[in-house]
Amino acid sequence: MEEPSLLSIKGKIVPANSPATSTFPREEKRCSFITPNSDPVYIAYHDEEWGVPVHDDKLLFELLALTGAQVGSDWTSVLKKREAFREAFSGFDAEIVAKFSEKKITSISAEYGLDISQVRGVVDNSNRILEVKREVGSFDKYLWGYVNHKPISTQYKSCQKIPVKTSKSETISKDMVKRGFRFVGPTVIHSFMQAGGLSNDHLITCPRHLQCIASASQPPRAVAPPS
């Protein structure tokens, strides 16, 4: 099973030996894409953050950038490069990124080994996010409006049943493309929805399925900016 969209949404990725990971009940059955060969970083993210609703604009911008960047790569690699992406894009502060000059874009591409079109895409998207914020108040409000501000809770019993895109991701993708966003095809947007908790795609046999439903019922917590 190909790794689905697992991205960290907190200040740092949970260490593999963290209490939350080490105390995950052995008798409980994780989503089947987690295997004995899965990287500890990947396992920790599944156990702590995948499917948890995200309402912080900077973190949503980060997720959008990283879900686009993972195309042609794998999620473990993306997770391990996440801090470098944060550094390159100023903590995903759209106000700052939108002001990147062509010289800055070229410098980031060279320093971090990123395709220059990818860097330009992130900068372009920062401008689109600012436009959305001026229009509706926040990137969070814009995105969550598509799901009536409540996560979609799916009922998949097998990873093979989880689609790579949905009618909802196609609808969001279509509007974002119309607005001028880049790297926002329906498959990328579906991954983004999973990563940001707009869609809870944990298998119903996985304890995290119900835990993410419970977390969605709690008021959004203030998230400290990345260090």
Residue 64 lies in a domain: yes
Assign residue 106 the CATH number of its domain.
Answer: 1.10.340.30
Residue 20 lies in a domain: no
Residue 223 has pLDDT above 50, yes or no: no
CA 81 to chain CA centroid, Å, is 14
Contact at 8 Å (CB) between 78 and 188? no
Residue 177 lies in a domain: yes
Assign 110 a pLDDT band (cuts: 50, 70, 90): very high
Please, which residues bridge with residue 199 across strands? 152
Contact at 8 Å (CB) between 92 and 60? no
Residue 19 lies in a domain: no
159: annotated binding-site residue?
no
* Tokens (6 digits) for 92: 């995903």
Which residue range is the domain that position 127 belongs to?
A: 54-216
How many domains are there within the chain? Answer: 1
State the average pLDDT for the chain: 86
149: annotated binding-site residue?
no
Q: Give me the pLDDT at residue 216, please.
A: 82
Of residues 198 and 5, more confidence is placed in 198
User: What global pTM score does this model have?
Assistant: 0.84
**Dihedral of the alpha carbons of 117, 122, 126, 127, in degrees to the nearest 10:** 10
Residue 17 lies in a domain: no
Residue 4 has pLDDT above 50, yes or no: yes
Q: What is the pLDDT of residues 155-213, one digit of tens each?
A: 999 999 999 999 999 999 999 999 999 999 999 999 999 999 999 999 999 999 999 99
Residue 17 has pLDDT above 50, yes or no: no
Calculate mean pLDDT across residues 35-47.
90
Residue 221 has pLDDT above 80, yes or no: no
Residue 21 lies in a domain: no
Of residues 154 and 71, more confidence is placed in 154
Decide: residue 53, CB within 10 A, 0-12 exposed, 13-18 middle, 19+ buried. buried
Residue 222 lies in a domain: no
Residue 132 lies in a domain: yes
